[in-house]
Amino acid sequence: MYEAKDRVGYITLNRPEKRNALSHELVAELKKAFVQAENDSAVKVIVLQANGEAFCAGADLAYLQQLQRFSFEENLADSSHLKELFLKIYQLKKVVIAKVQGHALAGGCGLATVCDFVFAVPEAKFGYTEVKIGFIPAIVLVFLIRKIGEKQAKHLLLSGELVQGNEAMSFGLINHLVSKDKLNETVFEFAQKLIKNNSSQSMALTKQMIDQVQSMSLTDALTYAAKMNAEARASDDCKRGINAFLNKQELNW
């Protein structure tokens, strides 16, 4: 599930026989893995990946059958369990890259959505099919609107359509399309670029600000931004970076 190598923390979905479908246990394991990766001082960037043909096919069928017998309180607790995973990934202090080698559907598409970057193969399909089975994409909806805007989110969430390749790119679901034989190499190179070129503190604070400012008024957001700007100037990373820039020194973070 978790492995650290070359300053990258790899979190791997490993239920290929179930198309990496989400179960209560898998969500719990993912939450633990992301906490471990966030606290691992040897890791600067995290890659979420999967074994098998699918990235993640959403909820496990046996799990869906089990949910039908739950009380409201049990369903609320279970729903909060998934919410905590998505929020943890979204607010993680380290950059998270989704490496999507196969279909990402429903909750699996949500898993990719909350990551900071998504690299995917052209044949991978993305979509939120919940409305087709009388369910709703409730939790991911909150993140998706933030990510791609109301118009695009409405199209995907209300139609339940699957998109892939350039269409998925045009919706803003993915950042880069990469052939299957180049996916591992491309994601590794991108992760190393972030690791070597960028301050981990700066990336963490920028992620935090992106999360925070969207719920603020313009005035409050700008006041918060000015405060963060001033605090960042006093940081060791900023002093080190500016000094290297002024002295035309190469900086390796």
Longest pairwise C-alpha distance within the chain: 66
State the CB neighbour count (10 A cutoff) for residue 197.
10
| Torsion sign (Cα): 196, 3, 96, 235 | negative
For the chain, the first-to-last Cα distance in angstroms comes to 27
Active-site option among 25, 73, 123, 130:
130
Residue 50 tokens read as 């999967």
Q: Which alpha helices (H) appear in the chain, and where do they start and end?
A: 24-39, 61-67, 72-91, 107-113, 138-148, 150-159, 165-171, 183-197, 200-213, 218-233, 236-246
Paired tokens of 213: 């400012």
Residue owning tokens 């691992």 = 40
Instruction: Give residue 170's identity as a one-letter amino acid code.
Output: S
Residues 6+ apart with CB under 8 A from 235: 201
- Phi-psi domain of 106 (left: phi exceeds 0; alpha: psi -120 through 50; beta: other): left
225 dihedral zone (left: phi>0; alpha: psi -120 to 50; beta): alpha
Based on the residue annotation, tell me whether 130 is a catalytic residue of this protein: yes
Residues designated catalytic: 130
